[in-house]
Amino acid sequence: TADRVVLGIESSCDETGAGLVRLGADGSVQLLADAVASSVDQHARYGGVVPEIASRAHLEAMAPTVQRALDESGLRLSDVDAVAVTAGPGLAGALLVGVSAAKGYAAALGVPLYGVNHLAGHIAVDTLQHGALPERSLALLVSGGHTQLLLVDDVAGRITEVGSTIDDAAGEAYDKVARILDLPYPGGPPIDAQAALGDPEAIDFPRGLTGPRDAAYDFSFSGLKTAVARWVETEQQAGREISVPDVCASFQEAVADVLTRKAVRAAQDHDVRTLVISGGVAANARLAALARERCAAAGILLRVPKPRLCTDNGAMIAALGAHVLASGTEPSPLDMATDPGLPV
């Protein structure tokens, strides 16, 4: 069979993504285009994603974003051989916009449609930058919506969860702590920047679920967020001026410490030699540095896609769609449903 072009559509949260990849006859997957429109600015004043605003923004951005991806690649819609779309997990209304659009493109072109899992997409995207995954790898998925450790036997089908957060996602903790410190939303980038100027050992914030009787691979960040809030409140009540850089650096150290400690342990316990870190929080400087350090010490190969690929985009869905297509999986029916709670 010849090369096939896959269009990927993403609309699970606040990013409208359209990506194009080329699936080679040898199973290789190459990035052709990656267009993203974000409604993040419209949510900023609410301190979090507002579902209705996200849905409306997807509706407006969908067709122009697909067109931008086509322009970027120099391809035409008629060059598309398959359409992949995020079926879940995500916001119900937001998912519907992407899936409806994908059905329209697939039906109009007479090409197969593949409803795929957003979380698997975050892992599959790494193959665009670093090539095929080894037989078995571990993925640490850290974003505003999810924080999970996943064992990946086949990115197109066999992924098993080995741990997840029992409360807030890591990115959510960043966003909430930013709010406490009067930093803008989303909180990851400003905290990352402030932390670079602070002392990570200034304040000893708690490391959630790291006790001897705690679940080895699960995470908890809500206690950490509360500890930051309480610390700031106590200092302010005592009339002491707080050092925002120190709070950020100490908070960030607690997050990076727990994430990397548990990821490395899970890799070792499952005898896996490759760790992929993806999702918006993977852009964090301290997380990347600590992961590099600890993976090197443990003899684990670390793969972190570039930030642009780590945050939500259409290329990750196109990449996953290409792997699913290559695996010979049956396409989804044209009346496929969305699933806001779709498990990995």
User: Which range in 153-161, 187-195, 203-211, 224-232 contacts ligand KG4 by CB under 6 A?
Assistant: 187-195
| Whole-number Å distance between alpha carbons of 56 and 51 | 9
Q: CA geometry: angle at 318 spanning 19 and 127, to 5°?
A: 110
* Tokens representing residue 186 in the block: 């989303």
Residue 15 near Zn ion by CB under 5 A: no
Q: In the bound complex, what is the minimum distance in angstroms from residue 141's beta carbon to Zn ion?
A: 8
Q: How many CA atoms lie within 13 A of 273 on its CB side?
A: 4
312 labelled ligand-binding: yes
Stretch that binds ligand KG4, among 17-25, 64-72, 169-177, 321-329 (CB under 6 A): 169-177
We find the least distance from the C-beta atom of residue 143 to Zn ion, in angstroms, to be 5
- Applying CB under 5 A, the span of 17-25, 103-111, 155-163, 304-312 interacting with Zn ion comes to 304-312
The residues in 168-197 that bind Zn ion, with binding defined as CB under 5 A, are none
**Site map (CB under 5 A) of Zn ion, residues 104-123, x = contact:** --------------------
Sequential DSSP letters for 102-158? HHHHHHHHT--EEEEEHHHHHHHTHHHHH-S--SSEEEEEESSS-EEEEEEEETTTE
Q: Which residue number, 235 or 339, has a Cβ lying nearer to Zn ion?
A: 339
Q: Omega of the bond prior to 186 within 30 degrees of 0, cis?
A: yes
Q: Which helix (H) or strand (E) holds 159?
A: strand 158-164
Gap between the Cα atoms of 281 and 301, Å rounded: 19
* Among ligand KG4, Zn ion, none, partner that 144 touches (CB below 5 to 8 angstroms by kind): ligand KG4
With CB under 6 A as the contact rule, which of the stretches 67-75, 100-108, 183-191, 231-239 interacts with ligand KG4? 183-191
Interaction of residue 143 with ligand KG4, rule CB under 6 A: yes
**Residue 163 and residue 216 in contact, taking contact as beta carbons nearer than 8 Å:** yes
Strands 137-142 and 147-154: antiparallel
Q: Which tokens sit at 111?
A: 């090409």
| Shortest distance, position 15 Cβ to Zn ion, whole Å | 8
Q: Which of 192, 218, 253, 257 binds ligand KG4 (CB under 6 A)?
A: 192
Distance CA 288, CA 277 (A): 9
Residue 231: how many other CB atoms lie within 10 Å? 18
To the nearest whole angstrom, how small is the minimum distance from the Cβ of residue 269 to Zn ion?
26
Q: Which of 305, 289, 307 is nearest to 297 (CA)?
A: 289
Selection from Zn ion, ligand KG4, none that 112 binds (CB < 5 to 8 A by kind) is none
311 binds ligand KG4 (CB under 6 A): yes
Region binding ligand KG4 by CB under 6 A among candidate stretches 76-84, 130-138, 142-150, 291-299: 142-150
Query: 185: which 2 tokens?
Result: 């939303």
Report how far apart, in Å, the C-alpha atoms of 128 and of each of 94, 274, 276, 315 are. 26, 16, 13, 9
As measured in angstroms, the least distance from the Cβ of 279 to ligand KG4 is 5
* Number of shown-chain residues binding Zn ion (CB under 5 A): 2
- Asked whether residue 299 is marked as a ligand-binding residue, the answer is no
- CA distances to 25, 231, 255 from 221, rounded to whole Å, are 44, 15, 8
187 interface partner picked from ligand KG4, Zn ion, none, CB below 5 to 8 A per type: ligand KG4
Find the binder of ligand KG4 among 17, 98, 121, 188 (CB under 6 A): 188
Q: Which of residues 98-117 bind ligand KG4 (CB under 6 A)?
A: none
Task: Determine the Cα–Cα distance for residues 312 and 125; give it in Å rounded to an integer.
Answer: 10
Within residues 132-151, the interface with Zn ion by CB under 5 A covers 143
At which residue do the structure tokens 């005898």 appear?
271
Please identify, using beta-carbon distances, which residue of 88 and 112 lies nearer to Zn ion.
88
Interface with Zn ion (CB under 5 A): 143, 312
Interface with ligand KG4 (CB under 6 A): 13, 143-145, 171, 174-175, 186-189, 192, 279-281, 283-284, 311-312
Annotated binding site: which residue ranges? 118, 122, 141-145, 175, 188, 192, 284, 312
